[in-house]
């Protein structure tokens, strides 16, 4: 299944925050959306899933496997989320419900989309927790989000997103709130799961060094517009836009600091 975005525009309170974006995500590919804060990358992700804030106006085309998603009723979009498309947000502390166990939250989409209940559901939830390498899955599914570390909470969020084996994963800055060591673990986990399931991936970040670890191509955004689109290799070795050149300088500085500490 492939994603095709054409002329995507988002207006909020009369201000255009995404301005005519075009990009494609072929089946099984790993594409990055990268840009500084305010570039429109996260708003683009929300538009893809029909999760824009109240009052936002959406235009253009978002086609998933040939099916137009713009204008699709909320109920049909909700069915796609989880079944076909999963999303992992930047901060799991806010994405997870603090008063429900993590097992209940992992199991919710399985209940809704696959109808499992009782012992069969619990067994499946344990398997999904184990799949994202949560320690002692049978015990950890009984805990609440505040009882887990930041890295463990993000693994729960990933388990929730992938429980029903979607064909596309949208990961919106999923490592930004984590320290460098945990960040590397989460990137390795995502690479493995994407490969195992043969999923397509849209990975959103402001960090070119991080993106180079997981994507093969990228779309660079500035002020809601595409300023460059190329392979990761080209962006690292021959960036064309001033924005990409700045992202490369930041990435190089980050890598250099990491080498100094090692």
pLDDT score at 176: 82
47 and 76 assigned to the same domain: yes
149 and 246 assigned to the same domain: no
Buried b (16+ CB within 10 A) or exposed e, 6-34: eebbbbeeeeebbbebebebeeebbbbbb
Please tell me the distance from the alpha carbon of residue 32 to that of residue 205, in angstroms, as a whole number: 7
Looking at the domain assignment, is residue 112 inside a domain? Answer: yes
32 and 61 assigned to the same domain: yes
pLDDT score at 1: 57
Task: Please count the structural domains in the chain.
Answer: 2
Q: What is the pLDDT along the chain (262 residues), one digit of tens a residue?
A: 599 999 999 999 999 999 999 999 999 999 999 999 999 999 999 999 889 998 899 999 999 999 999 999 988 898 888 789 999 987 777 779 999 999 999 999 899 888 999 999 999 999 999 999 999 999 999 999 999 999 999 999 999 999 999 999 999 999 887 888 888 999 999 999 999 999 999 999 999 999 999 999 999 999 999 999 999 999 999 999 999 999 999 887 655 444 444 4
Domain region containing 209: 3-84+168-261
178 and 158 assigned to the same domain: no
71 and 185 assigned to the same domain: yes
Question: What's the pLDDT tens digit per position in 17-33?
Answer: 999 999 999 999 999 99
Looking at the domain assignment, is residue 60 inside a domain? Answer: yes
Query: What is the signed CA dihedral for 11, 16, 22, 28, rounded to 10 degrees?
Result: -60
CATH number of the domain encompassing residue 216: 3.40.50.300
Please tell me the distance from the alpha carbon of residue 87 to that of residue 46, in angstroms, as a whole number: 9
Kindly report the pTM of this predicted structure. 0.91
Looking at the domain assignment, is residue 90 inside a domain? Answer: no
72 and 189 assigned to the same domain: yes
């Amino acid at each position: 299944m492939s994603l095709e975005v054409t002329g995507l525009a988002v207006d909020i309170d009369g201000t255009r925050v995404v301005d005519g974006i075009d990009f494609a995500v072929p089946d099984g590919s790993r594409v990055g959306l990268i840009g500084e804060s305010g570039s429109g990358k996260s708003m683009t992700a929300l538009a893809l899933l029909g999760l824009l804030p109240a009052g936002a106006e959406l235009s253009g085309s978002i086609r998933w496997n040939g099916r137009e998603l713009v204008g699709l009723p909320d109920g049909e979009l909700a069915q796609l989320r989880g079944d076909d498309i999963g999303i992992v947000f930047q901060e799991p502390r806010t994405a997870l419900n603090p008063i429900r166990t993590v097992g209940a939250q992992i199991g919710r989409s399985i209940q809704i989309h696959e109808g499992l209940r009782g012992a069969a559901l619990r067994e499946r939830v344990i398997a999904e927790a184990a799949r994202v390498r949560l320690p002692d899955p049978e015990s950890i599914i009984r805990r609440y989000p505040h009882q887990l570390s930041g890295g463990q909470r993000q693994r729960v969020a990933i388990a929730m997103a992938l429980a029903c084996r979607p064909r596309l994963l949208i990961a919106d800055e999923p490592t930004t709130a984590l320290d460098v060591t945990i960040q590397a673990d989460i990137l390795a986990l995502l690479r493995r799961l994407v490969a195992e399931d043969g999923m397509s991936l849209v990975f959103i970040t402001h960090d070119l060094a991080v993106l180079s670890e997981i994507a093969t191509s990228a779309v660079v955004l500035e002020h809601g517009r595409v300023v460059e689109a190329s392979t990761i290799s080209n962006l690292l070795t021959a960036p064309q836009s001033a924005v990409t050149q700045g992202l490369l300088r930041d990435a190089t500085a980050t890598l250099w600091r990491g080498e100094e500490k090692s």
